[in-house]
Structure 1
């Protein structure tokens, strides 16, 4: 069975390679455009529909400026590139780029950017599962409604029209949590430097105190067994359109009960009951995807390095390196292929349980292993997908009084996928792992539905390398 999945992955990778060859655009027949001026000049750039968003925030995403000279046969392509960048600010429901000749000067072309803003202020009740994903709750937790987290979430995006964000969260139930953060993407006149600050406090009574047989092993209790708190400040730098730098400094604090420290002396190592440390993380991200919500074209790669424990008084000392590369290839108007590889390395190999992160967390997994957690110090993940667009439409309902909700885009894709992964675990006896230190493989078919406000619904039927087949559901949102 394992060899079958390896073959599936190689087939998809081979398809992707051949599709790369087919995806190159056909050269333009210049003879057919002989009467069109070789170059045109941008006369004016205007923005409409931005009732709250400042015009400078939108223009900052555009490479085209008034007075620029552009090859006539490249104008539409360059406008589409700018449109995608504006879409990826996540500030608008729709973005349209229009151009037309200037009435007074035929050598000029004027540009109109027409946007439809989202609903920025949202207060919604929180009702979600405390488990890693819906599938774990559905299959392994007996659909226990006691494992529900409820509360209130407030998000005010674009608070002052500068794409700034204020977020407040108060959750109760299975995992009480309180969070606040505020971010400003640009604090300088050049619109390159931004800052975010925030804090979070979480408590647990029932929680996983170890991983055993590649499953989270929970300790059930009515007493407080863990407290977690962190505060952070994050600086971002965007020198160019697609390059993002981030420097994050935070202070972390974790306190365990005597019972939890006794159940797993390796939780914080050496039977410790508390952990506090400063952490410094640098991230570089280069993003040329057409749409961050559901990319179909372009590529994205990045690198992250983090040091846990900066001061002599910190009781954690760990470093990790994390990197990724993803490529999205449109084959034609309906067929699409993507492939991506992700990897993480960390040192030293003796690590506290909360910092020993392998596959299974934050949707980093080989599809087919949604119900498993494979702990380890290092891992790699290779994901491949071939998809077919079933339909795509955008419907406006005039009878809906709130304009930010009156336009609903829906796109559906059939997809097939094949993944490979591997987790290196230097202490397999601590978790009795059967999946660590072995090649993991999974394949399947599914249906993806992408809609507005960055919501993506995924319905997958998978078979993993253990021969287990199952239906999985996932709902995600790009914030």
Structure 2
């Protein structure tokens, strides 16, 4: 730390790499107290034109009046800076500390933030298939299989990090959504609530999985309607652990034709399905950057019951768990590994609620074109990365300050995944990938850029001997 009136700056507006602070210890390793200590004097925040100051201070472990070992100050400030970044309220977060010229044992902290563009109305143009690769390879990149409409999001509506979202999309899968989320509803700023409604209709949809591929029924008539009404409570007692309670009501109606094609869609030839669902989730997240982590770890679990009342049309439950570890290997090398598992019961389940590998982000890379149905599964993912470059460019001629700073970081990576799906009724899907270990590996390039957008280019080979290029745009979890 510089004595007198000088200052030291901890600044890394984008991504997670901070080797200038990391050195030999991991970011989250506790350090031994030193004999030289400093006291935190004033904490000031600049650039938060809309965001209320307590929302930012809530993320910080360091408080006014705290006494810290001098050698540990920068590490503690960097951890707090990354927690502010992970609110996703800001494009950049810089943290500086100044030594009081009258008292060298007192340090003032200044936080400089650049807020995101909070209110957006955007046109929607999306693929209706599970991912870009399925649309490109399996659906002949048919532009009729797209949705279009409008999306409106007002993040930080009242300066409390709350969000109002409205969307209306049409085309292949019409969908209407409304959501409002408040991160804190109590004085302690630990409990938040989210409520929403989602209504979806389908004319063309997958009515079964056959040979580990989705089998679609094409029609000009309405074949499925689904309505979901939900409320979610979130509780964050400490900085890194989160509790979630979700209650929802789900209603689904099928056409006669879809029911005849697959009587197991809702089981026993049913045309309607109505039930309440209760879910509890716990997660502990100490990653340096939630969008593209390079250091830290996370773990968690989820238990859910589908069908709570005697008159509900479903009686099912599942357990879901995950663990991920992110390790810097020195200089520009990074490694991460993860394990995900899901158990569900009973073994006889409606097709609509049977979930294996291939949906969400749970898949063995190399099998992006496959859906492996089953009641239980596990997934192991491993990745080695090398950072090619990282820079941030500001364009002053762009008048909107939330849009004139563009960061970009690129990583070369190699990966190897392993998975297994237990399917108690393989004859229903004629599976050849269920009930056996499957593996995939490959190399790729990740580009992380504006608003944490991640662009991935992967070349993979799977256990079937198939090799392909795959492309993905989105965000990491």
TM-score > 0.5 by shorter chain: yes
Which aligned pairs between 1:71-90 and structure 2 lie closer than 5 A?
A: 71-90=69-88
> In the alignment, which residue of structure 2 is the partner of 1:372?
370
CA distance in 1, matches of 2:476, 2:186: 26
> In the alignment, which residue of structure 2 is the partner of 1:19?
none
CA deviation vs aligned residue, 1:223-242 (integer Å, no higher than 9, x gap): 00000000000000000000
* TM-score of the aligned structures, taking structure 2 as reference length: 0.93
> In the alignment, which residue of structure 2 is the partner of 1:268?
266
> In the alignment, which residue of structure 2 is the partner of 1:428?
426
Which aligned pairs between 1:323-472 and structure 2 lie closer than 5 A?
A: 323-472=321-470
> In the alignment, which residue of structure 1 is the partner of 2:17?
none
CA distance in 2, matches of 1:102, 1:222: 73
CA distance in 2, matches of 1:104, 1:177: 62
> In the alignment, which residue of structure 2 is the partner of 1:288?
286
Task: Pick one of 94, 108, 111 that aligns with 1:110.
Answer: 108
Task: Pick one of 153, 156, 160 that aligns with 1:155.
Answer: 153
Deviation of the 1:214 alpha carbon:
0.3
Equivalent pair of 1:23/1:330 in contact (CA under 8 Å): no
Deviation of the 1:298 alpha carbon:
0.2
Deviation of the 1:102 alpha carbon:
1.6
> In the alignment, which residue of structure 2 is the partner of 1:25?
25
Deviation of the 1:478 alpha carbon:
5.7
Deviation of the 1:244 alpha carbon:
0.3
Deviation of the 1:454 alpha carbon:
1.9
CA distance in 1, matches of 2:102, 2:118: 39
Deviation of the 1:312 alpha carbon:
0.3
In the TM superposition, structure 1's runs of 4+ consecutive aligned residues that sit over 3 Å from their partners are none
* Residue 53 (structure 2) pairs with residue 40 (structure 1): no
Listed as ranges, the gaps of 5+ residues in structure 1 are 1-21, 27-35
Residue 103 of structure 2 aligns to a residue whose secondary structure is coil
Task: Pick one of 232, 239, 245 that aligns with 1:234.
Answer: 232
Higher normalized contact order (CA 8 Å, seq sep 6+, divided by chain length):
1
CA distance in 2, matches of 1:97, 1:333: 23
Equivalent pair of 1:23/1:331 in contact (CA under 8 Å): no
Which aligned pairs between 1:52-131 and structure 2 lie closer than 5 A?
A: 52-131=50-129
Richer in helix (by share): 1
Deviation of the 1:354 alpha carbon:
1.2
CA distance in 1, matches of 2:408, 2:24: 28
> In the alignment, which residue of structure 1 is the partner of 2:164?
166
CA distance in 2, matches of 1:340, 1:315: 35
> In the alignment, which residue of structure 2 is the partner of 1:184?
182
* TM-score of the aligned structures, taking structure 1 as reference length: 0.92
Residue 331 of structure 1 aligns to a residue whose secondary structure is strand
Residue 78 of structure 1 aligns to a residue whose secondary structure is helix
Task: Pick one of 208, 213, 216 that aligns with 2:214.
Answer: 216
CA 67–122 in structure 1, closer or farther in 2 if over 3 Å, else same: same
Listed as ranges, the gaps of 5+ residues in structure 2 are 1-21, 27-33
Residue 107 of structure 1 aligns to a residue whose secondary structure is strand
Residue 345 of structure 1 aligns to a residue whose secondary structure is strand
> In the alignment, which residue of structure 2 is the partner of 1:13?
none
